[in-house]
Amino acid sequence: MTPTLIMTRPRAQSESFAAKVARAWGKPLTIIHSPLIEVTWVDATPDGCDSLIFTSVNGVTAAKRMGLPNGLPVWCVGKKTAKAARDAGFDPTIGPGDAEGLIADIIADNPPGRLAHIRGLHTRGDVGARLRSVGIACADVIAYDQQAQTLNDEAKAALAGKSPVIVPLFSSRTGVIFGEQGPYQAQVYAPMISLAVQDAVEPSLATSVFLANRPDGEAMLDVTLTALKAAMAST
């Protein structure tokens, strides 16, 4: 029986990850791309900021759309976001991979001036509010929306079938959207990037959760392979 991998991120973000899974797995694998979020940009500009906070690559893209100057210091949630920021001309400080750790790093450094968190409409972690609560000036700049999408027909058919389905979940938002479109007849194996995602997901998926040991792409690859092995062992 061939397992199915359903990628729920925007296609540009999910294709390289799916290819890495397929190469590492080295066995038959059906891959379905069914994005559950469509990013739409919002016109916004931070007012007099000295540095930026990025908790996603989308934030970096939004900042470049605003025409913010090269060399601006930025705090990035993890390595992938920091690479995107550096490639975009910013000067990144790399966080530990999750919002909690990033907040702790910023508070410990207590940077001068005014920060701006370039974020989406839907977010968790309350980064700006928590920084303001300890006296750090931080504006929330909503620069994009993450509009919910319905699973496509190919994904729906797989989730109604008998073969195991692996659905890596990289954000709380996609976890919520995926859970709301269930229940699913197929056995779903859900690798998750963090406890925040697990907390957001429909409880009926709790028996098939595989939690990454770090909130980054490499750990998600490892845990997705673990989920694939568990899925095939159960058939």
How do the pLDDT tens digits run along the chain, 235 residues long?
A: 889 999 999 888 899 999 999 999 999 999 999 999 999 999 998 888 999 999 999 999 999 999 999 999 999 999 989 999 999 999 999 999 888 999 999 999 999 999 999 999 988 778 999 999 999 999 999 999 999 999 999 999 999 998 899 999 998 889 999 999 988 999 999 999 988 888 888 777 756 899 999 888 899 999 999 999 999 998 7
**pLDDT score of 210:** 95
Whether residues 53 and 14 share a domain: the answer is no
Whether residues 162 and 208 share a domain: the answer is yes
Whether residues 133 and 49 share a domain: the answer is yes
Q: Are 142 and 123 in contact, with CB atoms under 8 Å apart?
A: no
* Virtual torsion, Cα 179, 185, 191, 193, nearest 10 deg: -10
Paired with 203 in beta bridges are none
Whether residues 142 and 60 share a domain: the answer is yes
Q: How many domains does the chain have?
A: 2
Paired with 190 in beta bridges are 209
Q: Which of 86, 92, 56, 58 has its CA nearest to residue 74?
A: 92
Whether residues 164 and 184 share a domain: the answer is yes
Whether residues 132 and 164 share a domain: the answer is no
Handedness of CA 187, 191, 192, 195 (dihedral sign): positive
Pairing, β 37-41 against β 138-148: antiparallel
**pLDDT score of 222:** 97
Whether residues 12 and 92 share a domain: the answer is no
Q: What is the pTM of this model?
A: 0.84
**pLDDT score of 181:** 92
CATH of the domain at 62: 3.40.50.10090
**pLDDT score of 216:** 87
Residue at a domain's end among 123, 146, 169: 146
Tell me which H or E stretch contains 230: helix 217-233
Under DSSP, is residue 33 helix (H, G, I), strand (E, B) or coil?
strand
Length of the chain: 235
Whether residues 82 and 136 share a domain: the answer is yes
- Rg of the Cα atoms in the chain: 19
